[in-house]
Amino acid sequence: MLAIDENTITDAALAQMSETPNPRLKQIMAILVKHLHAFAREADLTPEEWLDGIKFLTAVGQTCTPYRQEFILLSDTLGLSSLINALHDRRAVEHGTKTSLVGPFYRQDSPHKELGECIAESNAGICIYGRVLNSAGQPIPGASIQIWQTDDEGVYDLQRHDPSHMDLRATFTADANGDYHLRTVRPLGYMIPLDGPVGDMIRAQRRHGYRPAHIHFMIGAPGYRELVTALYLRKDDHINSDTVFGVTDSLVTETVANDPGSPFRELPSIRFDFTLAAADAIGTGRVGADPSQITKRTASH
């Protein structure tokens, strides 16, 4: 019989899980138990603190609804979602544009538009253009480019209207040269929802809770790894302190006035070329159709 103490309990737990038939589940749970116990040991967690943690996690779970995923928000604000994306990028067989958080406002049924069209009901304020390339720098003709973003007040269509009313989202098809161009409004940054337990945590940590202005993209083509990413606007006050750690330097951009290369030279323009890595065994699936559905890539609010 084991003498269960702070040193033997981890091996006892691993032993009891050792008959798990699924090898990957067995591996993940063993690594989880090891690190979870190491956390409790290093923090020398008291029963009272442990109970506070139980209450917090319970509140996070009970804040979730079909239209709100507080556990994803928690994962985002702890940097875990961003880490999962970074690990996903590292597993790619080729170098491509970095992944960023998909967020909860994606929907796969956005309207198809012709290149050059405006995705906003309001007047276009900026142009975005560029190319979709493979890792050798060659164009990918006919690549699918889905885009979605907030309006100029930091609000998504799904937050402002019922789901039948779509705005600021569309699907484009790159031309024979892999080129794309479109018009939209300049998005505004916003605060993540702070009215739940994650908000309590953010306030207790004296964090501001803002995300910098960004534009989401999902880009795919047969034979390539689907890319879920976002472009971040450099002039945003919170570009260096995204509450959910979606910003990384290679995804930061800004509009340029009088860009001679822009198809809409009269508009402030962003040029961004996306690079798709070749497809691999994993990560080529599609995310869900419904904004309420948790998507397969890591989300933020």
- With CA atoms as reference, report the closest residue to 226 among 144, 292, 115, 170: 144
The rounded distance, in Å, linking the Cα atoms of 102 and 85 is 10
Q: Point out which residues pair with 219 in neighbouring strands.
A: 145, 227
Q: Enumerate the H helices of the chain as residue ranges.
A: 9-16, 23-43, 47-63, 70-77, 80-90, 157-160, 197-204
The rounded distance, in Å, linking the Cα atoms of 126 and 174 is 19
Nearer to a second copy, 78 or 191 (CB): 78
Nearer to a second copy, 177 or 250 (CB): 250
- For residues 219 and 143, the answer to whether their CB atoms sit within 8 Å is yes
Residue 189 Cβ, how far from a second copy at the closest point, in Å? 15
Residue 228 Cβ, how far from a second copy at the closest point, in Å? 9
Nearer to a second copy, 36 or 289 (CB): 36
Read out DSSP for 266-301?
A: TS-EEE--EEEPBP-SSS-SPPPSSTTSPPSS----
The answer for 6, left when phi > 0, alpha when psi is -120 to 50, beta otherwise, is: alpha
Nearer to a second copy, 84 or 188 (CB): 84
Torsion angles phi and psi, residue 300, rounded to 5: -145, 165
Residue 226 Cβ, how far from a second copy at the closest point, in Å? 11
Strand blocks (E) in 143-195 = 144-149, 169-173, 179-184, 190-191
Residue 124 Cβ, how far from a second copy at the closest point, in Å? 28
3-state secondary structure of 179: strand
Residue 245 Cβ, how far from a second copy at the closest point, in Å? 6
Residue 99 Cβ, how far from a second copy at the closest point, in Å? 9
- For residues 226 and 157, the answer to whether their CB atoms sit within 8 Å is no
Nearer to a second copy, 135 or 293 (CB): 293
Nearer to a second copy, 25 or 257 (CB): 25
Nearer to a second copy, 42 or 266 (CB): 42
Residue 169 Cβ, how far from a second copy at the closest point, in Å? 22
The CB density around residue 279, as the number of other CB atoms within 10 Å, is 18
Nearer to a second copy, 86 or 124 (CB): 86
Q: Enumerate the H helices of 149-288 as residue ranges.
A: 157-160, 197-204
Residue 299 Cβ, how far from a second copy at the closest point, in Å? 9
The CB density around residue 189, as the number of other CB atoms within 10 Å, is 18
250 DSSP assignment = G
